[in-house]
Amino acid sequence: MHPDISRLPSRVFYNNQLIDGPSMVDKTKQPWHTHERFGTYKFLNISWGIEESSGRSIKNSAECSVAMELFNRLRHEFSSVNFNFRIGVVSMYKAQIIALRKSFGERFGNDIANKIDFNTVDGFQGQEKDIIILSCVRAGPGLTNIGFLSGFDIAF
């Protein structure tokens, strides 16, 4: 992974002991890394999104819309890049994956599911992609933690 990305887990979980392999900046370099809207990673606060129950899981329609816009912007800003099989759309919640797959299919055609990997964190484990769009789902007024991450003290 790009050293900009490995820096966070190294600091938070490994007491700055992780060491990147040689020339990882060059080996992982992508054209969107220097773009101000994308970079090596970007956090987006979808403050207007609201989580909704969906059976025993939850989803967030606003995050689906933002994920689709990110993908669409990537395709247009970097039209010379073939993104097939290079993007993973990941969420902790199965209902969100179902909603994402459905939304992307409606907008970009049903064959998009053969070009982008939509999966839960557990289902995606062990895979690598050049771009990950992570949908956290949890949102809304007064939300102060992310459930399963509430015990971690993470400062960016």
Percent of the chain with pLDDT over 70: 88
Mark 71-100 as b/e (b = at least 16 C-beta within 10 Å): beebeeeeeeeeeeebbbbbbbbbbbbbbb
With CA atoms as reference, report the closest residue to 29 among 52, 63, 4, 64.
Answer: 4
Q: What is the pLDDT of residue 144?
A: 54
Predicted model pTM: 0.84
Q: What is the pLDDT of residue 140?
A: 57
Higher-confidence position of 49 and 65: 65
What's the pLDDT tens digit per position in 91-144? 999 999 999 999 999 999 999 999 999 999 999 999 999 999 999 998 655 555
What's the pLDDT tens digit per position in 129-151? 999 999 999 865 555 555 444 44
Cα dist from 116 to 7, 36, 156, whole Å:
27, 24, 29
Domains of the chain: residue spans and CATH? 1-42 (no CATH), 48-140 (3.40.50.300)
Per the prediction, the chain carries an average pLDDT of 89
- Answer yes or no: are the C-beta atoms of 54 and 95 closer than 8 Å: yes
